[in-house]
Structure formats: structure tokens, C-alpha cells
Amino acid sequence: MAGTTEERSSWVLFSTAVFIVLGVFNVIYGLTMLLNDQWVIFTADTVWYLDISAWGWITLIIGLLQFLVAWGVANAEMWARVLGVVAASIALIGAFLTVPYYPWWSITIMVLAGMVIWAVTVHGKDVHETAGA
């Protein structure tokens, strides 16, 4: 492997920071959806009245889980690494599906998700090696 253990564990800290930022955003989105849960959507033919409080709770829980994953990845926990790869893979697939609508944002999310997957899978256990050295 190229690079020192400290350099490799920097990638793990990067992925931890990404999960923390995602957690903050999802908690904010979830709270916003809970506080403003009545949406009206106007189309050419109809008017839709939506209650998005359930999606707000789901997003809030996902945000809190992302904080938990960030803590676990920072401590080189295997369950957090697996859950982090699954979450980043889902984000990558979701971003791929939105490329026609939001190309720059989707590509940015795909690159970040790919970097997180790489960092967690390749360098996930290096945090303990750095602490023990």
C-alpha cells in the first residue's frame, strides 16, 4: 500500500466528515419537512395536497443514523463501515438516476460517494493502526 498509515487514515477522517455533513443536512431537511408538512403542488390538470410529515421523520432518522455511522467509521467499527458503504452506494445510484435533471450536482454526489466507498473499504481499519503507533 502506498502512503503512511497516517495518510491513509486521513481518508477515513474525510469519509467521517462527509457523513457528518450529510447527517447535518438530513436532520435540517427532516425538521423542515416536519415543521412545514403541508405542500400544495399545482399541475396543468389538478392540484395535489400532500402531507410530507412521514418523509420528514424518515429523513430525520436517516440523518441521525449518519451521525452514528460517522462515529463508527471514525472508530473503525466494521458494522459502520458496511453501513457506510451501503449508504454511499444508495446515494451513488440515486445521483446517477438524477443526472439528466441535475447533472453537475449529481456528478458531484457520485464522486463524493465513490470517494467515501473507496476510503471506507480500503482504509477503514487504519484508524486503529494510527492510534496504536
CA distance 86 to 19: 12
H/E stretch holding 101: none
The β-bridge relationship of strands 38-42 and 47-51 is antiparallel
Domain that holds residue 49: 5-132
Would the pLDDT of 51 be above 80? Answer: yes
Domain total in the chain: 1
When pLDDT is averaged across residues 20-29 and rounded to a whole number, the result is: 88
Beta bridge pairs of residue 47: 42
User: pLDDT tens, 57-91?
Assistant: 988 998 898 899 989 888 888 898 899 899 888 88
Would the pLDDT of 4 be above 70? Answer: no
User: pLDDT tens, 85-117?
Assistant: 998 888 888 889 888 888 898 898 889 889 888
pTM over 0.75: no
Write 105-108 long-range contacts (CB < 8 A, 24+).
none
User: Cα-flanking dihedrals φ and ψ of residue 44, to 5°?
Assistant: -65, -30
Q: How high is the pLDDT of residue 1?
A: 42
